[in-house]
């Protein structure tokens, strides 16, 4: 390990470990490495902690995980002291919670804010990482841990003239810290993914007019959020152990796990009754609590998709608008399902218009609004709800070079290759939390973050106890895991659909199609990681 001394004259400051990102992953990894007595530095682009919940301040931003299934489980004190006010908390409350955790453990003292890591180069001779920031500083560390987030690299659309607009415009994940007044404003919004849905349903009643530019409709499902009063919070708190145990056993580490029955083995009456029951339940029940074959058998998926189409038609007054809101290129749940509260009803309001950009092309952003093939639309505010360069985007924005000067971008040009989604050969002592091919990518994410961090902390402790200086995934282990990731995906219908799961982003046409997530399920992933550790970190070269 590096000496814990922080500065040697003019030479770069040295740490045992550098962590990139101060979201849920970076905060918890910092906490655990401090417990090992290591010197740790965290770099964070934002001005404070929170990651996703620091950046995404747009109106309507909230959980689609139950609040009490999402929060950290590692500290009894935090569990005892924090109360949630809603089953699916909104962004301000989530950010307050994360600040409460950061205050409690004095995490900020090891985090350097307003600092973006630009590059990280592995120095083979000295077995350390050299990390350069946009502040012109250089740091060295023995270990480098990326906690850069699966949905943190904001992606703007490639429309000409974006800088010409004279009104206010925002990407949803770079929302201002001050409230935006929508009263009587003419608002245009581009994008109808999970974020767009939350914004649209929230501001439709506040704006003068809202014009929604939609390219890819999504199947959305009702969230059924509710307040939590003191008495209910007491009952929920008593069930924390049960909830965490439940998350450990379900495929996606949510409270909702699939029903053991197959869609086609029950009668139509029974099937529809079950769909209705799930549709009336909160959260991801309809997505992740459905029949076991919903995402592996096309016929099964078609049945649920038909049910969801009918629900949309029932909720929209104008049948032409309803058909525009129904996806035609994928079945229900084959993309991440946006959760909604009166989203579809927003389109029944006179002040809300829907423009399908497959029929009407956006030609450019102008000084006063958006020009289309069918005319100009004037706006006071334009909102870009165009999402992220998902899973790999934040890593791609850092110049990372490993053994022999090979860059991570070059190595992953045809898609990531990883072992367990935590390492890639040629980049010793570099680890990814919620990396591609990690179960955390298809997960109630903090449950998997905690698993990732605990496992990695165990590996680091093992290195220290066994006097190992270098840990690197072997090529064989990486090949086998990457093949397993693709094989697991092929057993599902997910690769049949273009989505960020498949590294498809129509604003980044150069991206290669490849499956980025891990769909073998949380329980198998955890078992595999535990077995690897029990066998002396099998598949990793430790020197």
Ligand X SMILES: Cc1cc2nc3c(=O)[nH]c(=O)nc-3n(C[C@H](O)[C@H](O)[C@H](O)COP(=O)(O)OP(=O)(O)OC[C@H]3O[C@@H](n4cnc5c(N)ncnc54)[C@H](O)[C@@H]3O)c2cc1C
Site for ligand X in 329-358 (CB under 6 A): none
Q: Which of 55-63, 200-208, 410-418, 524-532 is the region at the interface with ligand X (rule: CB under 6 A)? A: 55-63
When the beta carbons of 19 and 473 are compared against ligand X, the nearer one is: 19
When the beta carbons of 23 and 495 are compared against ligand X, the nearer one is: 23
Token pair, residue 32, equals 């655990």
Candidates 2, 14, 23, 285: give the one binding ligand X (CB under 6 A).
Answer: 23
- CA proximity to 49, closest of 89, 93, 88, 101: 101
Query: Does position 150 bind ligand X by CB under 6 A?
Result: yes
Output the smallest distance, CB 156 to ligand X, in A. 15
When the beta carbons of 26 and 331 are compared against ligand X, the nearer one is: 26
Look at the alpha carbons of 496, 501, 502, 507 in this order and tell me if their dihedral is positive or negative: positive
Q: Which of 20-28, 77-85, 285-293, 330-338 is the region at the interface with ligand X (rule: CB under 6 A)? A: 20-28
* Residue 126 neighbours by CB under 8 Å, 6+ apart: none
Element at 200 (helix H, strand E):
helix 194-203
Candidates 220, 394, 459, 493: give the one binding ligand X (CB under 6 A).
Answer: 394
Query: Does position 66 bind ligand X by CB under 6 A?
Result: no
When the beta carbons of 282 and 369 are compared against ligand X, the nearer one is: 282
Candidates 43, 82, 219, 430: give the one binding ligand X (CB under 6 A).
Answer: 43
Question: Residue count at the site for ligand X (CB under 6 A)?
Answer: 35
Backbone angles phi, psi at 34, to 5 degrees: -60, -40
When the beta carbons of 196 and 331 are compared against ligand X, the nearer one is: 196
Candidates 89, 95, 102, 117: give the one binding ligand X (CB under 6 A).
Answer: 117
Query: Does position 20 bind ligand X by CB under 6 A?
Result: yes
Asked whether 89 and 63 are in contact (CB, 8 A), the reply is: yes
Output the smallest distance, CB 503 to ligand X, in A. 17
Token pair, residue 90, equals 């909104």
288: region left, alpha or beta (phi > 0 left; psi from -120 to 50 alpha): alpha
Binding mask 438-467 for ligand X (x = CB under 6 A): ------xx---x------------------
When the beta carbons of 51 and 369 are compared against ligand X, the nearer one is: 51
Query: Does position 52 bind ligand X by CB under 6 A?
Result: yes
Distance in angstroms (rounded) separating the CA atoms of residues 18 and 518:
26
Query: Does position 398 bind ligand X by CB under 6 A?
Result: yes
CA distances from 284 to 104, 226, 254, 336 (A): 31, 15, 8, 10
How far from chain centre, in Å, is Cα 394? 12
Query: Does position 220 bind ligand X by CB under 6 A?
Result: no
When the beta carbons of 46 and 369 are compared against ligand X, the nearer one is: 46
Q: What is the DSSP annotation of 354-398?
A: EEETTTS-EEEE-SSEEEETTEEEE-SEEEE---B-TTTHHHHTS
When the beta carbons of 22 and 370 are compared against ligand X, the nearer one is: 22
Query: Does position 61 bind ligand X by CB under 6 A?
Result: yes
Half-sphere exposure of 380 (CA within 13 A, CB side): 12
* Residue 357 neighbours by CB under 8 Å, 6+ apart: 213, 214, 215, 372
Output the smallest distance, CB 112 to ligand X, in A. 9
Asked whether 474 and 538 are in contact (CB, 8 A), the reply is: no
Distance in angstroms (rounded) separating the CA atoms of residues 535 and 543:
16
Q: Which of 146-154, 403-411, 419-427, 478-486 is the region at the interface with ligand X (rule: CB under 6 A)? A: 146-154
Going along 445-543, which residue ranges are E strands? 471-473, 540-542
Q: Which residues bind ligand X (CB under 6 A)?
A: 20-26, 43-46, 51-52, 54, 56, 61, 63-65, 70, 116-117, 147-152, 195, 394, 398, 434, 444-445, 449
């Amino acid at each position: 390990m590096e000496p814990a001394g922080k500065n040697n004259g003019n030479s770069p400051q040295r740490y045992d470990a550098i962590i990139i990102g101060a979201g849920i992953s970076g905060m918890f990894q910092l906490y655990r490495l401090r417990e090992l007595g290591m010197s740790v530095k965290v770099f964070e682009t934002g001005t404070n902690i929170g990651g996703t919940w620091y950046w995404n301040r747009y109106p309507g931003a909230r959980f689609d995980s139950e609040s009490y299934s999402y929060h950290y489980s590692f500290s009894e004190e935090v569990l005892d002291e924090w109360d949630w006010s809603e089953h699916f908390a909104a962004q301000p409350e989530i950010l307050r919670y994360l600040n409460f955790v950061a205050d409690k453990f004095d995490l900020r003292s090891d985090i350097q804010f307003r600092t973006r890591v630009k590059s990280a180069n592995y120095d083979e001779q000295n077995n350390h990482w050299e990390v350069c920031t946009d502040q012109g500083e250089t740091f060295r560390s023995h270990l480098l841990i990326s906690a850069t987030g699966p949905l943190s690299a904001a992606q703007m659309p490639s429309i000409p003239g974006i800088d010409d607009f004279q009104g206010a415009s925002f990407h949803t994940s770079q929302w201002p810290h001050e409230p935006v007044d929508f009263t009587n404003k003419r608002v245009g919004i581009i994008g109808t993914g999970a974020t767009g849905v939350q914004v649209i349903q929230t501001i439709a009643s506040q704006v003068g007019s809202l014009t929604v530019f939609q390219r890819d409709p999504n199947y959305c499902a009702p969230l059924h959020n509710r307040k939590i009063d003191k008495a209910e919070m007491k009952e929920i708190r008593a069930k924390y152990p049960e909830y965490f145990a439940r998350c450990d056993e379900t495929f996606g580490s949510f409270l909702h796990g699939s029903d053991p029955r197959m869609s086609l083995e029950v009668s139509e009456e029974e099937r529809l009754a079950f769909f209705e029951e799930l549709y009336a339940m909160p959260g991801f029940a309809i997505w992740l609590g459905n029949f076991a074959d919903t995402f592996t058998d096309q016929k099964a998926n078609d049945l649920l998709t038909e049910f969801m189409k009918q629900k949309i038609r029932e909720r929209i007054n104008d049948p032409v608008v309803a058909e525009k809101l129904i996806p035609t290129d994928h079945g229900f749940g084959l993309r991440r399902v946006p959760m909604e509260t009166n989203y579809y009803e927003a389109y029944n309001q006179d002040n809300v218009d829907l423009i399908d950009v497959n029929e009407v092309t956006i030609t450019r952003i102008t000084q006063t609004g958006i020009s289309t093939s069918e005319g100009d639309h004037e706006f006071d505010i334009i909102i870009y709800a165009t999402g992220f360069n998902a899973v790999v985007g934040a890593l791609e924005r850092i110049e990372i070079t490993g053994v022999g000067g090979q860059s991570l971008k070059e190595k992953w040009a045809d898609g990531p290759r990883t072992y367990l989604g935590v390492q890639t050969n040629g980049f010793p002592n570099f680890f990814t939390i919620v990396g591609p091919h990690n179960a955390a990518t298809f997960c109630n994410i903090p449950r998997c973050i905690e698993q990732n961090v605990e496992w990695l902390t165990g590996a680091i402790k093992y290195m220290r106890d066994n006097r190992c200086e270098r840990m690197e995934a072997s090529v064989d282990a990486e090949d086998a895991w990457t093949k397993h990731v693709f094989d697991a995906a092929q057993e599902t219908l997910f690769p049949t659909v273009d989505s960020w799961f498949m590294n498809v982003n129509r604003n980044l046409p150069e991206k290669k199609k490849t499956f980025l997530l891990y769909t073998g399920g949380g329980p198998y992933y955890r078992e595999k990681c535990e077995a690897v550790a029990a066998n002396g970190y099998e598949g990793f070269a430790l020197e």
